[in-house]
Amino acid sequence: MLLLNNDCFIGPGCVENLARELRFNDRLAAAGPLTGDDGNQSLRKEERRALLQLPDDMLEELDDPVRIAFRLSQKLRSVAEPVLSFFCALLRREALQQFGGLDPRFASGLGADDEWCFRARNHGNEVRDVLNAYATHLHRSSFKRLEIDRDLLQQDAQQLLHRVLATGDNRNTVDDGTREGHGLPTNESARR
């Protein structure tokens, strides 16, 4: 299953390279691309560029998914991560069947990806950044357009994530009709 935010533009070969990684690694529950935003999978991070042997001058090209995809096309590696950001991620069907989808308690979407990745790892699976896949992510743009205070929602999501992980209450969230998901915003105070 491909998860793709509405503020994400995939580069050439991105989905195919994510799928290839899933096909060749049976323990892989989810694969995600690199990006140019400020998140964990960002090429703005010096250590990520060093791993890929990319020059610093390529930072000027991060908004061009075609150019970055071309630069990454020769890279055939992936790296295991503790969590992936699901702005663009390919999830293995069997993993979803085994331990469920995103937890609807994370109604804003924030933190749901982290919780799912922890669940995947607890079931002996991996999540990996695919180093020859790239997607431009206009990080936070939907929250800005809707005038939602993302930082407040992020704080709430982090508190919930800590509670879920501390109590071990990251149960299977296959849609069983027992919990109701909510849309954005979850809290009127998050609106400006």
Q: Where are the domains of the chain?
A: 2-190
Report the candidate in 192, 189, 191, 1 with the shortest Cα–Cα distance to residue 95. Answer: 1
pTM of whole model > 0.75? yes
Give residue-wise pLDDT tens across range 47-90: 888 888 888 888 888 888 887 877 776 666 888 999 999 999 99
Can you tell me the distance from the alpha carbon of 186 to that of 89, in angstroms, rounded to the nearest whole number?
24
Judged on CB neighbours under 10 Å (0-12, 13-18, 19+), 183 is exposed
Euclidean distance between the first and final Cα of the chain, in Å? 34
Amino acid at 189: S
| pLDDT score recorded for residue 90 | 97
Over pLDDT 90: what percentage of the chain?
A: 39
Cα distances from 171 to residues 112, 113, 159, in angstroms, run 13, 14, 17
